[in-house]
Amino acid sequence: MANYRKTGDLPETLAIFPLPGALVFPRWELPLNIFEPRYLNMIDDAMRGHRLIGMIQSLGGGTRERPDIARVGCAGRLTSYSETDDGRYLITLTGICRFAVKEELAVTTPYRQVRPDWEAFAADIFAAPDTSLPDRAHLIRAFRAYATANGLQADWSALDDAPMETLVNALASGCPFSAAEKQALLEALSLADRAETLIALLEIGGSGGADGPVQ
């Protein structure tokens, strides 16, 4: 995968894929099934260029063809690509760095493009040390109550063994939070802030659950 050392290594323009509820975080993988012609075109162009696509949540306003978008998204690099017999693309994006939308560009491509502002999220390029993160036991305890309250199942041994960044991102993207809650997780300035926000959301959502194991 390309080695990004600073925000200056990232592009000045970025194709965006507005999609509600689908988040990619730095160093987190997001599989996608691409079938709309405009986004097939986007993937073709990205594969010929810097291979970065901006995942960003669409909001309630606007139109189906041009929905309103959140103010912050995350760029993912195309790290896996295959084409199906019926013309779909099965891809995986690996998150690189979040961005704020500085402006949306007037373009002739069928997909939308923005001018991203990377600077507020420059630290995304480097992994945060686990020592800066909240206690793993606190996070798992909060998720256990949330899972019980919401009828979710989990592989508890995998939660115990996963690196903290992986665990935080897996729960942030996989739990059935609202679009606004997921956006709050994405916009949390640091991984430690995201973990604290995640714990708060889990504790709110699990307030009616028990602390016992989910089978």
Nearest to 192 by CA among 125, 123, 105, 132: 132
What tens digit of pLDDT does each residue of 172-181 get? Answer: 999 999 999 9
CA–CA dist 1, 7 (Å, integer): 16
Q: What pLDDT is attached to residue 208?
A: 56
pLDDT > 80? residue 10: yes
Per-residue model confidence (pLDDT) at position 65: 84
Span of 48-62, 88-102, 104-118 with lowest mean pLDDT: 48-62
Mean pLDDT over 195-207 rounds to 95
Per-residue pLDDT tens for 22-41? 889 999 999 999 999 999 99
Quick one: pLDDT at residue 207? Answer: 85
* CB hemisphere CA count around 208 (13 angstroms): 4
Q: How far apart are alpha carbons 46 and 48 in whole angstroms?
A: 5
Q: Which residues of 172-193 are buried (b: 16+ CB within 10 A; e: fewer)?
A: bbebebeeebbbbbbbbeebbe
- Residue indicated by tokens 């929905």: 67
Domains of the chain: 7-125 (2.30.130.40), 130-205 (no CATH)
Q: Return the percentage of the chain with pLDDT > 70, whole number.
A: 95
pLDDT tens column, 114-162: 999 999 999 999 987 777 788 899 999 999 999 999 999 888 888 888 9
* 56 vs 74: CA distance, rounded Å: 7
